[in-house]
Amino acid sequence: MENEITQAIRDLKSLASSHANEADENYRLSAAVIDAMKSAGIFRMFVPREYGGLELELPQIVNAIRSLSRIDASVGWTAMIGAGSALFATMLPRSIFERIYRNRVNTIIAGSTQVLGRVESDGNGWRASGRWPFASGCQHADWMLGFCKLIESEDDEFGKARDVVVIAPASKWTIAQTWRAPGLKGSGSHHITLDSTVAPNESFFDMKAQERWADGPLYGGVPQIIALLHGAVSLGIAEGALDDLLAIAVSGRRQERADAPMRDTEAFQTDLGHLHGALRAARALLLEQTESHWRHAQARQLGTNVLLVEGSQAAIWTVRTCVNVVDECFALAGSAALYGGSPLERRIRDVHVAAQHNLMQHRNYSKAGKLLVGGELTP
């Protein structure tokens, strides 16, 4: 199955590249690219086999997202969100998962885990309302979700409300086309809004109260896996940037007023060797941590705070290293990287936007520090 996914990703390369400018202009991937991703099985990588999914091994999934991001960052990001949504969905009641995925194995779920909505009584039942940002892939989604405060009493207005997740077919949501970020343009990470009647245990749930029903090794540590997927996106972008720089160098390009082509100068060779070493280190760390996670997952020991922190550390360090690699590739390319349409011009925009995700922020290292001095992490 890994070889089939690998070949399908290779086949996607020319299609995704030919639609990259269109994705940037429209702030969404083209239908042709999404359809090709579905045909390749990208959105089925985390879906349990009993529902027609691929249920791949974690290293296979990380490498697939990395390879897609090397082709085009928005494709890789959309794959991460679209495939990862199935992983998240296994935390919902089984009856809801079956409603979403039965006979529709390529389902895409978009949404936000920011708690920005409300569920409260409207006199006849419950109503959910809210507005959520960063709903990547929402224009291609079949279902959407958002986290809300459940307002059951006056006390809940003062910080005592439970967090619940609301999930409903995409037709019930409204997309506000707000995504005008400089990078990851094709991810279509717009705001979504909802104002709809909802029913307990049918369209909103307390995630902490749900029994875990999916018993495959992938599903015993969902939070532990998510950070590694972010690392895979940035790693793929950086690998692509180095590809782009090498293509410029081997073409024989000579910088203005330089005595020799880039590829023949010791200064360029030194910088290139340093960048390659940094990228190898990032790749080694992320893939080693992925293998460690997978070993623990197979032993049904993934869902621990230690592994949550280790995955976060590995991903954050990988992302920051990859940002530096892309920045240096851009600088070394000189004026060739400046113009719109330059692969490196797109890479530098994409890697900086990807690195802004809250899970990839430097402050998250504090969790590791807290454990090291004997503290405990709160859920």
pLDDT at 125: 86
Confidence of residue 256 (pLDDT cuts 50, 70, 90): confident
The pLDDT of residue 154 is above 70: no
Q: What integer is the mean pLDDT of 142-151?
A: 94
- φ, ψ of residue 119 to 5 degrees: the values are -120, 120
CATH of 109-209, one of 2.40.110.10, 3.30.70.890, 3.30.565.10, 3.90.105.10: 2.40.110.10
Q: Which one is predicted more confidently, 2 or 275? A: 275
Count of residues making up the chain: 379
For the domain made up of 221-372, the CATH class stated in words is mainly alpha
Q: Global pTM? A: 0.94
pLDDT at 17: 92
Span 273-299, pLDDT tens digits: 999 999 999 999 999 999 999 999 999
Confidence of residue 262 (pLDDT cuts 50, 70, 90): confident
pLDDT at 326: 98
The pLDDT of residue 158 is above 60: no
Lowest mean pLDDT among 131-140, 144-153, 275-284: 144-153
Among residues 191, 115, 175, the alpha carbon closest in space to that of 151 is found at 115
What is the rounded distance in angstroms from the CA atom of residue 71 to the CA atom of residue 343? 10
pLDDT at 209: 66
pLDDT at 155: 63
pLDDT at 199: 87
The pairing of strands 109-121 and 143-151 is parallel
pLDDT at 341: 77
Confidence of residue 336 (pLDDT cuts 50, 70, 90): confident
CATH of 2-101, one of 3.40.50.720, 1.20.120.1200, 3.40.920.10, 1.10.540.10: 1.10.540.10
pLDDT at 292: 98
- CA–centroid distance for 220 within its chain: 19
The domain ranges of the chain are 2-101, 109-209, 221-372
What integer best gives the mean pLDDT of the chain? 92
pLDDT at 100: 92
Confidence of residue 203 (pLDDT cuts 50, 70, 90): confident
Q: What is the DSSP string of 141-172?
A: -SEEEEEEEEE-SGGGGGTTPEEEEEEEEGGG
82 Cβ contact list (under 8 Å, min separation 6):
37, 42, 43, 108, 109, 110, 137, 140
The pLDDT of residue 157 is above 70: no
